Each structure stands twice: as structure tokens, then as C-alpha cells.
């Protein structure tokens, strides 16, 4: 008889070794963290399985996602971020598996069509669960510190589950932090925020919605968001001398050319030049990100090149040459 698997097992075995269901034991009720552990194990197994999975596996994972979703407002702040990442991972895995299965069927039978529909519904349910947990994150930021705000924006960006009102709430808190706790907004935290804002602008959010840090759901919020972006740019300039190569590499080119001013971009390139960022052997890992940054600035602000000091201009040309060589 095939062995069965308990999802709550701390060291789950690959389901590819047997034909048992993904989850056969009832979920733990000892707390939300146990529930997240079960979900983490289930998603890990589901993503690791390269062969086909049974309809019951999909049903079990969907049920587990719903169980986490109904606990959204009972989760601790960091657990909510973890839950969102796990739910989005489950939805992404199901969407990919559904797509692969559909491509492999040229003339589906009735049973295969029913399974394709069930796969699609499961993917929609998992994505919906992720978005409901995402909606619980922004309210938690109203009194949060810099690190949680950065983690929240980054998680929402990575999972593409934010709405404009979520971004508005997080920018509102960031505006307060820029005024009241600027010393806590270190380069590492700032670039994590800017990278996420740039990613949101580039990729969008929930259901493909457009996200912009200069926009807002109302005129008042739009004005506040624009004020936040201005203060964020000013703060970056104040602490730019503390930026290291790894910070500049995380800045995100879309954020830079969308939200930073002409002079700010020049100063960022000058800081890169001082550090020789991306050119040294020990910083080659940052070449791609910094090459994209320089290329985006050159494309969107071509006249900026004429205003750069010779030292910075020489750096940009060398960086561009090396970056082009990697394409």
C-alpha cells in the first residue's frame, strides 16, 4: 500500500516517490503559525513535484489556502507577509501547472476538459486568497516601523497583489517616517523600498492593475503621494554618500527614471563612478543591475550626459561597454 504524507511533517519527503495524496492528515489547529508551516510544506511539495498531481492534491492545497485566508486578520504582521508570499507561490505554481497541462492536450476528452476547468478554478481561488491576505497588510502599516514598511512594499511588489489603495496606505506611512524617523531609513531599507516601488510601476499589481506612486485613489491622496516621493528623493540625496555598490544595484532603474529628478540622477551616477560600481572583479555580480540603471538614465535623460564631469562620463561609457558585452 502506498504511504501517505502528513503536510505538517517537519521534513516532508518528495511526493514523486509515491502516489499518495499531497495531504491526507487534518491540518493542525494549534495556531496560525502551525497553519503556515503546513502551507509552506504543501507548497514546497507541490512546486517540487515534476510529474502530474492528482485532483485530490489540488483540492487539498486549495482548502489549505482558504484556511489561511480566513485567518488573515489573526496573523501577526510578519506572518501575514509570509502567508501572502506562500499563497502567491501556490497560485503561481497552479497557474503554471494548469498551463502546461492544457498545452499538452490537443483534443481533450470530456474528463480532461473538466479537469482543466477545475485547475483553472483552483488557480483563481488561490490567487483570490492571496489578494485577500494582501488587503490585510496595508492597515497593519499605520503604526509600523521602517523595516516592516519596506518588507510590506517588497512583498506586495513581488507577489503582484497590491492595489493602488494599498500603495497609498504604505506611502502615507512612509511619509510620516521620512519626517519623524529619517535616521531609521538607512540605505538598505531605502533601496528595498525604491526597488519595490519601481517593480510595482513596471509590473503592476492585482489583476494587472496599474500602480503609480505619484497617483492615488483621490486628489488629496495623490498630492500626499507626490509629496512623499519628493521627500524620498531628497532623503536619498542626503544619505547617498553612505550608499555602497550593493545598495546602488538594488535601487531599480524604473524607480530612478520615473520618480527622481534630473540632478538626482546625475548625483547617483557620480556616486557609482566614485565606487567604480560594477567594474571591479569583486563587484561583477552588480554589473547587470547597474548597466540597466545607466542605460535607463541615458535613454530617458540623454542631455544629462553633457552635464556630467569627465570622470563620471568615462565611468558611464566603460560601464555601458561592459554591460553591452554581456547581452
Q: Is residue 129 part of a domain?
A: yes
Domain match, 96 and 173 both: no
Same-domain status, 249 and 232: no
CA dist 134 and 58 (Å) reads 22
Residue 306 has pLDDT above 70, yes or no: yes
Q: Percent of the chain at pLDDT above 70?
A: 83
Residues 290 and 229 in one domain: no
Q: Which value, in Å, is the radius of gyration of the alpha carbons in the chain?
A: 23
Q: Which domain holds residue 180?
A: 144-242
User: Is-contact 108 97, C-beta < 8 A?
Assistant: no
Residue with cell 565611468: 315
Q: What is the pLDDT of residues 264-276, one digit of tens each?
A: 999 999 999 999 9
Our count of domains for the chain comes to: 3
Within-domain flag for 2: no
CB neighbours of residue 263 within 10 Å:
12
- Residue 86 belongs to some domain of the structure: yes
Q: What is the mean pLDDT of residues 242-249?
A: 96
Instruction: Quote the cell numbers at residue 223.
Output: 498630492
- 126 in the same domain as 162: no
Distance separating alpha carbons of residues 269 and 180, to the nearest angstrom: 29
Distances, alpha carbon 139 to alpha carbons 4, 106, 190, in Å: 40, 47, 21
The reported pLDDT for the residue numbered 281 is 85
3-state DSSP call for residue 149? helix
CA–centroid distance for 34 within its chain: 24
pLDDT at 131: 94
Dump pLDDT digits (tens) for 57-91. Answer: 888 899 999 999 999 999 999 999 999 999 999 99
Write down which residue in 242, 273, 305 finishes a domain.
242
Amino acid at each position: 500500500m502506498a504511504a501517505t504524507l502528513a503536510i505538517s511533517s517537519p521534513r516532508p519527503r518528495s511526493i514523486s516517490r509515491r502516489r499518495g495524496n499531497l495531504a491526507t492528515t487534518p491540518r493542525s489547529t494549534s495556531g496560525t503559525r502551525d497553519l503556515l508551516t503546513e502551507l509552506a510544506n504543501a507548497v514546497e511539495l507541490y512546486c517540487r513535484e515534476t510529474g502530474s498531481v492528482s485532483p485530490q492534491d489540488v483540492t487539498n492545497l486549495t482548502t489549505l489556502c482558504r484556511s489561511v485566508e480566513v485567518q488573515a486578520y489573526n496573523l501577526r504582521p510578519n506572518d501575514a507577509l509570509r502567508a501572502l508570499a506562500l499563497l502567491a507561490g501556490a497560485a503561481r505554481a497552479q497557474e503554471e501547472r494548469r498551463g502546461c497541462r492544457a498545452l499538452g492536450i490537443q483534443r481533450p476528452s470530456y474528463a480532461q476538459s473538466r479537469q482543466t476547468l477545475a485547475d483553472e478554478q483552483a488557480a483563481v481561488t488561490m490567487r483570490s486568497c492571496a489578494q485577500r491576505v494582501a488587503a490585510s497588510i496595508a492597515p497593519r502599516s499605520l503604526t509600523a516601523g521602517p523595516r516592516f514598511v519596506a518588507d510590506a512594499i517588497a512583498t506586495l511588489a513581488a507577489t503582484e497583489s497590491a492595489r493602488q489603495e494599498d500603495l497609498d496606505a504604505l506611502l502615507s506611512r512612509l511619509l510620516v517616517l521620512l519626517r519623524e524617523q529619517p535616521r531609521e531609513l538607512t540605505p538598505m531599507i531605502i533601496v528595498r523600498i525604491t526597488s519595490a516601488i519601481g517593480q510595482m510601476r513596471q509590473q503592476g499589481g492585482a489583476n494587472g492593475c496599474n500602480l503609480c506612486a505619484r497617483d492615488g485613489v483621490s486628489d488629496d491622496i495623490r498630492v500626499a503621494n507626490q509629496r512623499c516621493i519628493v521627500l524620498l528623493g531628497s532623503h536619498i540625496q542626503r544619505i547617498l554618500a553612505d550608499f555602497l555598490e550593493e545598495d546602488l544595484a538594488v535601487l531599480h532603474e524604473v524607480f530612478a527614471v520615473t520618480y527622481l529628478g534630473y540632478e538626482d540622477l546625475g548625483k547617483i551616477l557620480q556616486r557609482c563612478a566614485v565606487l567604480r560600481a560594477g567594474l571591479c572583479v569583486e563587484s561583477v555580480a552588480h554589473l547587470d543591475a547597474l548597466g540597466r540603471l545607466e542605460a535607463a538614465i541615458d535613454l530617458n535623460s540623454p542631455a544629462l550626459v553633457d552635464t556630467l564631469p569627465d570622470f563620471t562620463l568615462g565611468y558611464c561609457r566603460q560601464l555601458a561597454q561592459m554591460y553591452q558585452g554581456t547581452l
